[in-house]
Amino acid sequence: MLEFQSHLIFPTHAVPDAGPLPPGSERLQIESADGKRLHGVHIPPSGAGEGDGTLILGFGGNAWNGEDVASYLHELYPGADIVTFHYRGYRPSAGSPSAEAILADAPLIYDAAVKRVPRKRIVAIGFSIGSGVAARLSAERPLDGLILVTPFDSLKAVAQSMYPWLPIGPLFGHEIDAAGGLTDVPTAIVAAERDEIIPRERTDALRETVRNLVFDRTIRRAGHNDIYARSDFHEAMREALAVL
């Protein structure tokens, strides 16, 4: 059961190759606390000038290529510096993926990004499972804002809702307690009305724990995966950053 859940939660075999990076992008490397080499990318603001003074740390879904996360965020926020990393065990990052590992790596990614790109404002954006990573990061490092997309309160609770006939509690080895990591940082939530992966009650449970909810938008008729191509989602994401 433990092997099955790891394969299901972290489908490294299903992650596509990344598309081309924008001009000026630079690949990054850091070392985890246990000596694993992690690979990432920094995409600077497009055009002339120094950008809008925002550094965005992106944490993708469990089947996203880290470089594609960066490119997607760059399209949404061309004036910001974007830094993302491939999760542990997601090529070319070394090691084996686990909730414990990606949560431990997030503060190291933050430290490396801030050292490389000193900025006035630091915002973490998490998509799906990455929303839990971003939420937990807010308890570890100072942030100026959080944007949580299709978020949940507890990954264990999400798994239990998907397999109600199984005793998930004692078997689950990859808990991410997103609700328990939230602080007073200004937080935006963007959810999908027809999310078939994250039940509405799990997003509602997280919403009730947010101490400083400054933006809350549910994209009508959107599902967990098709939300990203929708123009109303793009608009919501830009509005969310503007109010943080």
Q: What is the mean pLDDT of residues 213-239?
A: 98
CATH number, domain with residue 28: 3.40.50.1820
- What is the reported pLDDT for 48? 59
* 147-194 pLDDT per residue, tens: 999 999 999 888 888 777 666 666 777 899 999 989 999 999 999 999
Q: How confident is the model at residue 1 (pLDDT cuts 50, 70, 90)?
A: low
- Range(s) of the domain holding residue 154: 2-243
What are the distances in angstroms from CA 16 to CA 66, 74, 119, 228?
10, 19, 31, 16
Distance between CA atoms of residues 173 and 145, nearest Å: 29
Q: Find the range with the poorest average confidence among 18-27, 43-52, 111-120, 218-227.
A: 43-52
Tokens describing residue 125: 């954006």
Question: Structurally, how many domains does the chain consist of?
Answer: 1
Lookup: tokens for 99: 């909730």
Phi-psi region of 35 (alpha: psi -120 to 50; beta: other; left: phi over 0): left
Q: Give CA–CA dist 207/196, Å, rounded.
A: 18
* Mean per-residue pLDDT of the chain: 93
Q: pTM, whole model, 2 decimals?
A: 0.95
Spatial CA neighbour of 104 closest among 161, 34, 151, 57? 34
